[in-house]
Amino acid sequence: MKPRVAVLISGGGSNMVKLLESMEGDHPAEPVLVLANSDSAGGLAKAQALGTQSDFVDHRLYGEDRAAFEDALIAKLDAVNADLICLAGFMRVLTSHFIERYDGLMLNIHPSLLPKYKGLHTHARALEAGDTEAGCTVHEVTAKLDDGPIIEQARVPILSNDTPDKLAARVLIEEHRIYPSALRRFVEAL
Ligand code: GRF
């Protein structure tokens, strides 16, 4: 049976769209759910338009209780028998409670050349440091933030007139390329 993929998002979901499109036709995995942490995530409607069920769990209802929020996510994921999780711009930190549930079955895309610039504001930090290149990384998720075995990276040169936004736009193009290819490679190796 094909692994059943759920994509977790917080925003516009452009990476999610590329993942869903990549799983059309002959692919070793199938998308079953797009799950957001707010009903305002723009990607929810895009998932529906692509024929994939979408849903949300509003993290604000759970306050500081991360385990309860994560249990609500897990309940939605269990309802569709999801077995592989792709984080795609999901902006909530997940604890080991959630991560251990999907041990070895969760991927993330991060807009830096990990292990450099874990966390937020990656492009501004790369520019501030005077780096000559930036990029993005698809990696397996482990309990440590933006850590875990690297599956694929893409490099983007930093230009002399770059701003964080300009750089982010060029890195995003590479994110859209490597996330689908890393997902396929990961599933083929399961
Ligand atoms: C991407 O740059 C992702 O790497 C970062 O947030 C952005 C999400 O973009 N963590 P989108 O929602 O996939 O368009």
Pick left, alpha or beta for residue 119 (phi over 0 → left; psi -120 to 50 → alpha; otherwise beta): left
Q: Are 5 and 32 in contact (CB under 8 A)?
A: yes
Is residue 37 scored above 90 in pLDDT?
yes
Q: Separation of 146 CA from ligand 1 center, angstroms?
A: 14
Cα 24 to Cα 20, 41, 135, 139: the distances in Å are 7, 23, 27, 22
Give the pLDDT mean for 42-50.
Answer: 98
Q: Is 110 a catalytic residue?
A: yes
Options 110, 123, 139, 176, the catalytic residue: 110
CA dihedral 130, 135, 141, 147 (to 10 degrees): -20
Map out the domains of the chain as residue ranges: 4-188
Q: Are 137 and 150 in contact (CB under 8 A)?
A: yes
- Closest Cα to atom 1 of ligand 1: 89
pLDDT for 97: 95
Q: What percent of the chain has pLDDT over 70?
A: 100
Task: Kindly indicate whether the domain formed by 4-188 is annotated with CATH number 3.40.50.170.
Answer: yes
pLDDT in tens, 5-35: 999 999 999 999 999 999 998 999 999 999 9
Is residue 47 scored above 90 in pLDDT?
yes
Element (H, E) at 127: helix 122-128
pLDDT in tens, 130-154: 999 999 999 999 988 889 999 999 9
The gap from C-alpha 177 to its chain's centroid, in whole angstroms, comes to 13
